[in-house]
Amino acid sequence: MFTFARIVAVLAAFFSCSALAGEFTWHGSLEDAGEPAVGQYDFRIQLFSAEQDGIRLSEPLELLGVEVAAGSFSADLELAGGTAERGGWLEVAVRSSGEKAYRALPGRSKLALEATAGACWNLSGNAGVLAGDFLGTTDVAALQFRVGNQRALQIVPASIPNLIGGYSGNLTGSVYGASIAGGGSSGSINQVHGSYGSIGGGQGNRVDASWGTVAGGRHNLAAGPVDSTVSGGSSNHASGQTSAVGGGFDNIASGLLGTIAGGMGNRAGGESSTIGGGNEHVASGLGASVGGGYKNTASGSSSVVAGGADNFATGNWSTVAGGIGNRATVSYSSAAGGNNNLASGNSAHVAGGSNNIASGSHAQVQGGRNNLAGGAYSTVAGGEDNCTGARWSWVGGRQARLISSSVPTSSPCYSATAPASWGEGTFMWAGGDVEPMYGLGYPSNSFVVRASGGTFFYSSPYQGPGVRLAPNAGDWSSLSDRNSKDDIEALDTAAVLDALLQMPVYRWRWKGEDEGNRHIGPMAQDFHAAYGLNGDDDTHLMSVDTNGVALAAIQGLHARLERENAQLRAELAALAERQQQLLARLDAMDTAQYAARRVALQATAQASTVPAALAGVQ
């Protein structure tokens, strides 16, 4: 008599069968005459919905020549219609090898699906999937998928499972919610040791930060407490909290919220610091930024180096826009570009050029070469070898040097004996002469210009009216070309003279001028009332007008004197004529009187013995 101690249907291998096809491996135990059966047996099985009666769920299926050893056997079988996964009862008949008739086993056996089996997924798709159906495991063993007998995907149990793809050596530590999409190799595995960390691919990448990410590349690290990211590249580290490296090589973003977009050998160590790209930059200040270039450093808080090479923004809120070898070392200082420029004063600025220094507070150098703005609020407009140490001063041109004791001793503008106030507020410009122009002892707020080729000032847009100081001249000349004038009229010079004679002239001094100073001249109101010159302006005098009035008055005076002199000359001529007439009459009278006297003397002489010569007769 045949009996079955246990009949179990088991899936041969996960995903090796189709749920609709109903392919299984059937494991069972068979006894023959109370002893474990040995040898080959034929089985005929049929599946029903109940232990007795019920609905027939499958057609009869024969399994021939099944090998039974020590009472146990296994056989592959297929129950059409996808009925096995719904469970049921097996009705079994058996015969030994060589027998013709099957002998039914008493009762039906419960079909048991072991947990390692489960239903299979149809490769052409499934229908009728019920809520709660799933693919996976129900124990704590990791679920693996293989390709070419190599592990390609592993789902590791945790409170939130970890997903590990790629190389079989890739791993996640004692974390949860971690994922490795792929990549890795022997000796360069990808590994995640932070919960919710993820690696997209690549080789030798590691995530230690919770919620950290390495998207790809090789030998990259997302460390720090949380939220650090490396997008790609090689040997990049995002070790600051919420830091990020976009790519490149050997970049380290170690500051909180630090960012490096790419490049090579860059270091963003300051909180909220940023490096846009380039090579070997350092952004170590709070909120510091380096845009690109080569070997730039932004170490001051909120400092910026936009680009260039070997530039330093070390002052808080300092800026270097570009160039090479430029430095902004004090708060709010800036260097826009150029070569080897230094802005070392608070809020000082160098716009460009080379070897320029703005060391005074709020001082600036606009460009040029070898210029120094050492005074507070001073300006060097550009040019070459200019310097000033005076506050509020302005210099430009070539070798304009406003002497001061407040500049470095190496500066050509330095003098230990110079008063601190020398040249304050002074404007000083020097042309391109070889000899330096030294500002020695100029009073504050002076306007000093050296233009050896002459100086011109124009008061119209057409370079017409104006003044000129010729080379080596000591006085200004004004344009007086007849071709530049309109409405030319002859003057009544006598009227000009009369008006001038009526105009009061005073001795006076300017308000605010030193007490000892005095000037002589008319008031503009009187001058304007007398001549109506200079438009409606009755508060200013122009030398062209005062000079013109003086010349006209001289002419008027000359004409008047000429008239008076002519009259006097006529009167003198008449007097001279009368004088000649009188003289002639006198001469005639003298002649007659002389003759009479001579006769009388001669007569007297003859009457005496006195010689005539002694008597006065000649």
Q: Give me the number of domains the chain comprises.
A: 3
| Amino acid type, 186 | S
Q: Can you give the residue range of the structural domain that contains 565?
A: 492-582
Do the domain assignments include residue 607? no
> Which tokens is 315 given?
């002052």
Cα dihedral angle (179, 184, 187, 191), rounded to 10 degrees? Answer: -10
440 and 511, same domain (yes or no)? no
- Residue 363: predicted pLDDT: 97
Dihedrals φ, ψ of 581, to 5°? Answer: -65, -45
pTM higher than the cut 0.85: no
- Residue 86: predicted pLDDT: 56
- Residue 617: predicted pLDDT: 45
Whichever domain contains 106, its CATH number is: 2.60.40
377 and 455, same domain (yes or no)? yes
Q: How far are the Cα atoms of 573, 575, 577 from residue 570, in angstroms, in the given order?
A: 5, 9, 11
The string of pLDDT tens digits covering residues 450-483 is 999 999 988 888 777 888 999 999 898 888 889 9
Using 50 as the pLDDT threshold, list the residues of the chain that sit under it: 4-21, 81, 115-118, 610, 614-618
469 and 541, same domain (yes or no)? no
The string of pLDDT tens digits covering residues 37-63 is 888 999 898 888 888 888 888 888 888
DSSP symbols for 582-610: HHHHHHHHHHHHHHHHHHHHHHHHHTSSS
- Residue 76: predicted pLDDT: 78
Residues contacting 425, CB < 8 A, separation 6+: 390, 391, 392, 393, 444, 445, 446
476 and 496, same domain (yes or no)? no
The end-to-end CA distance of the chain, in Å, is: 221
> Which tokens is 7 given?
């009949």
- Residue 16: predicted pLDDT: 38
Do the domain assignments include residue 152? no
496 and 472, same domain (yes or no)? no
- Residue 2: predicted pLDDT: 56
Domain termination residue (choose one: 56, 80, 110): 110
Do the domain assignments include residue 408? yes
The DSSP letter of residue 123 is: T
Do the domain assignments include residue 486? no
The single residue listed with the structure tokens 């062209």 is 544
Domain termination residue (choose one: 110, 131, 154): 110
451 and 402, same domain (yes or no)? yes
Do the domain assignments include residue 517? yes
- Residue 415: predicted pLDDT: 76
Domain termination residue (choose one: 440, 459, 480): 480
18 and 80, same domain (yes or no)? yes
Q: Would you say 496 and 502 are in contact if contact means Cβ atoms under 8 Å apart?
A: no
17 and 97, same domain (yes or no)? yes
Do the domain assignments include residue 232? no
